[in-house]
Amino acid sequence: MDERIIKYCQGNLLKEEQDQLLKEAYKDPVLKSRIIDYQHLHSLLELTPERMDKEQGRINYACFRKLVNAQKRKVMLISFSRYAAIIVIAFVSAWMLASYYFSGNLAEQKELIAFQQELLVPAGQRAELTLPDGTKVWLNAGSKLSYPSFFEKERKVFLSGEGFFDVAKNEKVPFIVSTGTIDVKALGTQFNVFCYPGSDYTGVYLQQGSVKAYFPSLESEGVVLSPEQYLVQKGKRLELSTKDPDELLWRQGIYTFKRQKLGSIIKKLELYYDVKIIVKDPEILNYEYVGKFRQRDGVLEILRLIQRIHKFNIKKDDELNQIVLSK
């Protein structure tokens, strides 16, 4: 593989070399495809305990190319780690070349078409990526993000699951996260959105800056959040609530629960690990627990740690992909 691709994705390519590489990629579909493939590989977070080095990058890239050739138009990326595999599905991936296209001549710009692409994070994993406008996004387990290959008149993405957004500032073009129930609009800020399909609510926590949450057809009636405020949407209601900032540690692979009932914890574990947890005794649901867990330890280990405080039995059925808790 061209050494320049590795350096480019790692941010170690000189400006002159970068311009030359992108100029070549514009005219060479094969080179463009290789840059796109490796950019996806490089954007994943915490797939191995240490950052991927150059040699490991070559090995993983070779494995990836074999999969791409087998999958044809649908791109499926499996990056091998000691813990689990993570899969990225992309319909079209060209955004990392946008910086070159936009700086090129008008004829070249007219040939550029924005395509929708999708990033899917499997259970028990998380990922990080940078969008075409420079916005950084962290995605929690079981999350899906759809976004265009480059932004034009609007910056709008679609989220299912949980994501933290560090939005690149652009006062002329607001950044919008659509969850399927509400939209969240920002100019340049940091915020977290929780909107799993299996959850009965959508939550927006503002860490820095300002955002507005609203129903798509009722933007004028939306709620503007200040830093450290938390908004919850249930049904047709938008209400301010409270949230422990430590819950955002999921970006570092830490799940935090403070005086939460086991029933609430179980709901999140089901979403994070894509497993059904059945509770035979309702009393178990009312147990309260305080603790922090590492994502990589897995759902069974988390339940065993809770089991040390509150006594209950754990039975795992791999065939049905479910866990049964009983007294």
273 within a domain of the structure (yes/no): yes
11 and 55, same domain (yes or no)? yes
When pLDDT is averaged across residues 44-69 and rounded to a whole number, the result is: 46
Q: Which pLDDT does position 114 carry in this prediction?
A: 53
CATH code of the domain covering residue 216: 2.60.120.1440
Within-domain flag for 101: no
pLDDT at position 299? 94
Percentage of the residues of the chain whose pLDDT score is greater than 90: 43
Q: Are residues 119 and 72 in the same domain?
A: no
Same domain membership, residue 155 and residue 261: no
| Residue 104 counted as domain residue | no
**Per-residue pLDDT, 42:** 56
Residue 321 falls inside a structural domain: yes
Which of 244, 265, 289 corresponds to the end of one domain?
A: 244
CATH number for position 279: 3.55.50.30
pLDDT given at position 36: 67
pLDDT more than 70, % of the chain: 74
The number of C-alpha atoms within 13 Å of 282 and in the hemisphere containing its C-beta is 0
> Among the three residues 193, 222, 244, which one is the final residue of a domain in this structure?
244
Give yes or no: residues 70 and 145 share one domain.
Answer: no
- Is the whole-model pTM more than 0.75? no
Q: Which distant-in-sequence residues (6+ apart) come within 8 Å of 115 by Cβ? A: 91, 92, 94, 148, 149
5, 32: one domain: yes
Residue 137 is predicted with a pLDDT of 94
Q: Give yes or no: residues 227 and 270 share one domain.
A: no
Task: Give pLDDT, residue 58.
Answer: 54
What token pair was written down for 282? 């309702």
Task: Name the domain count of the chain.
Answer: 3
234 domain-assigned = yes
Three-state secondary structure call for residue 130: strand
| CB neighbour class for 63 (10 Å; exposed up to 12, middle 13-18, buried from 19) | middle
CB 294 within 8 A of CB 125: no
pLDDT of residue 258: 87
Domain contains 42: yes
C-beta atoms surrounding 127 within 10 Å? 24
Check residue 11 and give its pLDDT.
66
> Which residue would you say has higher pLDDT here, 208 or 98?
208
Least confident piece of the model among 21-30, 76-85, 229-238: 76-85
Most confident of 79-83, 115-119, 243-247: 243-247
Q: What average pLDDT score do residues 69-80 get?
A: 34
In terms of average pLDDT, the best of 34-38, 56-60, 69-73 is 34-38
- How far apart, in whole angstroms, are the C-alpha atoms of residue 138 and residue 129? 7
Evaluate whether residue 105 is within a structural domain.
Answer: no
Cα–Cα distance between 51 and 47 in angstroms, integer? 8
Structural domain span for residue 224: 114-244
Same domain? 202 vs 136 = yes
Residues 138 and 47 in one domain: no
Q: Are 206 and 294 in a shared domain?
A: no
Type of residue numbered 34: R
Report if residue 207 sits inside a domain. Answer: yes
Q: What is the pLDDT of residues 204-246, one digit of tens each?
A: 999 999 999 999 989 988 999 999 999 999 999 999 998 889 9
pLDDT at 265: 93
In terms of pLDDT, which residue wins out, 78 or 109? 109
pLDDT tens track for 151-182: 878 899 999 999 999 999 998 899 999 999 99
Do 272 and 180 reside in the same domain of the chain? no
Q: Identify which has the larger pLDDT, 61 or 67.
A: 61
Q: Which of 30, 65, 82 is the last residue of a domain?
A: 82
Same domain, 130 and 187: yes
| Per-residue confidence band for 77, with pLDDT thresholds at 50, 70 and 90 | very low
Q: In sequence order, what are the beta bridge partners of 77?
A: 88
State whether 240 and 257 are in the same domain.
no
